[in-house]
């Protein structure tokens, strides 16, 4: 059997149809979308087509989409723009404690600038209680940030409930949908969010391109200056082929999403059942049902997650401990600590994330290898 990739939450391979759609935009259809000649206008047309496709998919208007380099940039811009533009309204932000670092670090930065940040912890299943968020809202609260699904433990958050109250209280609501877009339905109207971030490489598009949804009427402060691209909200020559690829990836997701979610959740449940029945002292992290169709995340007692990932890699299987962005950081994950895990259990973690091309055969081979490698690592420890 060839290499087995079970780390789709870190990044997905691009769909061949996405690459095919992008190809002409490096050659005969290239152009700077800001140029007035026909090359430029063709490029602009292609960008607007992708914008309309994405907007339609998430229930937005095309003018509410700002293309960026990915969710990190989108999240940074959402937090800083809100802090800057609403400074006269208040200086208090509410952030879910298990956000991706691109939100958390932005929050820490604004805290250094004199803003107050309240962190909301999840329960032991990794779920944020909307009441816990509402209790923190004050007269000077300008932003609530809660992600749609967690990138480590895959838990889906009750964003619609939180959004409804945020809207009613007039507090801006940022939702990081990087792990959900293209995998489960994302509708900005149902969520009642004001800002929503996403990255194409999490749904079979290219790396280095993403978007920020900005609800009509909200003034977005640019983070990049020096051009009036994206209606002055994000300067710099467009990533033309990337944006075309993002649009194509959305089209494919629209066709595949329902079927894939069903197939992947069956495989996910098979993994969870197998691990909990056949591997001693294993615990599932994150809510059993309220989780992404493609995510299984465990803690294994007396196993170091980093060692396990390395030995599995030697057998040709790519899995991860948690977030790819924090790999190499010896600290236990902030997500696992927030759900109450000890340092040892947090360091004994394993994330399996499935995708478009995962087969039952691959999963069964992985499970067999996992059982054997966990046994070997535990023996070595004794
Ligand atoms: N938010 C979440 C939930 C993510 O999973 C990621 C990627 N791991 C990001 C933001 C950042 O995305 P990117 O690296 O594409 O900018």
Above 90 in pLDDT, residue 322? no
Residues whose beta carbon lies within 6 Å of some atom of ligand 1: 70-72, 100, 102, 147, 151, 176, 178-179, 199, 201, 210, 323, 325
Above 70 in pLDDT, residue 96? yes
Tokens of 71: 């969710």
**Mean pLDDT to the nearest integer, 200-210:** 98
Whole-number pLDDT of residue 323: 65
Whole-number Å distance, alpha carbon 327 to ligand 1 midpoint, is 13
**Mean pLDDT to the nearest integer, 209-231:** 97
Give the residues across from 139 on adjacent strands: none
Whole-number Å distance, alpha carbon 98 to ligand 1 midpoint, is 13
Calculate the average pLDDT of the chain. Answer: 96
Ligand 1: atom nearest CA of 210 is 15
Ligand 1: atom nearest CA of 75 is 10
Q: What are the pLDDT digits (tens) for 224-280?
A: 999 999 999 999 999 999 999 999 999 999 999 999 999 999 999 999 999 999 999
> How long a stretch of residues is the chain?
382
pTM of the predicted model over 0.95: yes
pLDDT-based confidence at residue 381 (cuts at 50, 70, 90): confident
Q: What are phi and psi of 295, to 5 degrees?
A: -115, 130
Q: Round to whole Å and give the CA distance between 44 and 186.
A: 26
Q: Round to whole Å and give the CA distance between 104 and 5.
A: 29
Angle at which helices 101-112 and 71-85 pack, to 10 degrees? 30
**Residue to mutate (ligand 1; options 178, 249, 327, 329; most atoms within 8 A of CB):** 178
Above 60 in pLDDT, residue 325? no
325 is catalytic: yes
Asked if 374 and 299 touch (Cβ cutoff 8 Å), the reply is no
Asked if 246 and 200 touch (Cβ cutoff 8 Å), the reply is yes
DSSP 260: H
Whole-number pLDDT of residue 330: 67
pLDDT-based confidence at residue 61 (cuts at 50, 70, 90): very high
Ligand 1: atom nearest CA of 10 is 8
SS3 state of residue 282: strand
Above 70 in pLDDT, residue 342? yes
Whole-number Å distance, alpha carbon 73 to ligand 1 midpoint, is 9
DSSP strand pairing (92-96 vs 141-145): parallel
Residue 327 or residue 101, greater confidence: 101
Whole-number pLDDT of residue 1: 78
Q: Round to whole Å and give the CA distance between 72 and 199.
A: 8
Where would I find the H helices in the chain? 16-22, 38-58, 71-85, 101-112, 130-136, 159-169, 188-191, 229-232, 240-278, 305-314, 334-338, 343-347, 360-381
Q: Domains of the chain (ranges plus CATH)?
A: 4-12+258-381 (3.90.1150.10), 16-252 (3.40.640.10)
Whole-number Å distance, alpha carbon 377 to ligand 1 midpoint, is 31
Whole-number Å distance, alpha carbon 379 to ligand 1 midpoint, is 36
**Residue to mutate (ligand 1; options 70, 105, 351; most atoms within 8 A of CB):** 70
Q: Round to whole Å and give the CA distance between 7 and 266.
A: 17
Tokens of 42: 């063709």
Active-site residue identified among 96, 193, 325, 379: 325
Q: What are the pLDDT digits (tens) for 132-143?
A: 999 999 999 999
- Closest residue to atom 8 of ligand 1, CA basis: 10
Provide DSSP, 157-210.
P-HHHHHHHHHHHT-EEEEE-TTTTTTS---HHHHT-SEEEEEGGGTTS-TT-E
Whole-number pLDDT of residue 373: 97
> Could you tell me the end-to-end alpha-carbon distance of the chain, in angstroms, rounded to an integer?
32
Tally of CB atoms within 10 A around 133:
24
Q: Round to whole Å and give the CA distance between 162 and 145.
A: 10
SS3 state of residue 212: strand
Q: What are the pLDDT digits (tens) for 169-194?
A: 999 999 999 999 999 999 999 999 99
Whole-number pLDDT of residue 324: 58
Q: Round to whole Å and give the CA distance between 119 and 159.
A: 16
**Mean pLDDT to the nearest integer, 25-41:** 96
- Residues 6 or more apart in contact with residue 329 via CB below 8 angstroms: none
Above 60 in pLDDT, residue 288? yes
Residue indicated by tokens 């402060």:
221
Asked if 44 and 358 touch (Cβ cutoff 8 Å), the reply is no
DSSP 69: S
Q: Round to whole Å and give the CA distance between 51 and 213.
A: 11
Tokens of 162: 């939180």
């Amino acid at each position: 059997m060839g290499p087995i990739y079970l780390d789709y939450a870190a990044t997905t391979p691009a769909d061949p149809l996405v690459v095919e759609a992008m190809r002409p935009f490096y050659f005969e259809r290239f152009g700077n979308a800001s140029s007035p000649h026909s090359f430029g206008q063709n490029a602009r047309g292609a960008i607007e087509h992708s914008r309309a496709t994405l907007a339609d998919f998430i229930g937005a208007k095309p003018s509410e989409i700002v293309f960026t380099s990915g969710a990190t940039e989108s999240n940074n811009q959402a937090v800083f723009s809100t802090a800057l533009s609403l400074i006269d309204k208040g200086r208090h932000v509410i952030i879910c404690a298990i956000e991706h670092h691109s939100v958390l670090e932005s929050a820490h930065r604004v805290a250094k600038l004199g803003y107050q940040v309240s962190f909301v912890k999840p329960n032991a299943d990794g779920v944020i209680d909307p009441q816990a968020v509402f209790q923190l809202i004050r007269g000077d609260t300008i932003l609530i940030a809660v992600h749609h699904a967690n990138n480590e433990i895959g838990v889906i958050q009750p964003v619609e409930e939180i959004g409804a109250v945020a809207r009613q209280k007039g507090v801006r609501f940022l939702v990081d949908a990087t792990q959900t877009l293209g995998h489960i339905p994302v509708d900005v109207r149902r969520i009642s969010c004001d800002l929503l971030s996403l990255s194409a490489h999490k749904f079979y598009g290219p790396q280095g391109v993403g978007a920020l949804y900005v609800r009509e009427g909200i003034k977005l402060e640019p983070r990049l200056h020096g051009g009036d691209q994206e209606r002055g909200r994000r300067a710099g020559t467009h990533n033309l082929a990337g944006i075309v690829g993002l649009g194509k990836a959305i089209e494919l997701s629209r066709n595949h999403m329902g079927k894939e979610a069903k197939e992947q959740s069956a495989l996910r449940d098979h993994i969870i059942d197998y691990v909990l029945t056949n591997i001693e002292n294993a615990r599932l992290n994150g809510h059993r049902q309220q989780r992404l169709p493609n995510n299984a995340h465990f803690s294994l007692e007396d196993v170091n997650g980093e060692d396990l990932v390395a030995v599995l890699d030697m057998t040709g299987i790519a899995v991860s401990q948690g977030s790819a962005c924090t790999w190499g950081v010896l600290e236990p994950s902030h997500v696992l600590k927030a759900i109450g895990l000890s340092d040892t259990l947090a360091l004994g973690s394993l994330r399996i994330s499935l995708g478009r091309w995962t087969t039952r055969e691959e999963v069964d081979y992985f499970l067999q290898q996992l059982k054997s490698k966990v046994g070997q690592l535990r023996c070595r420890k004794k």
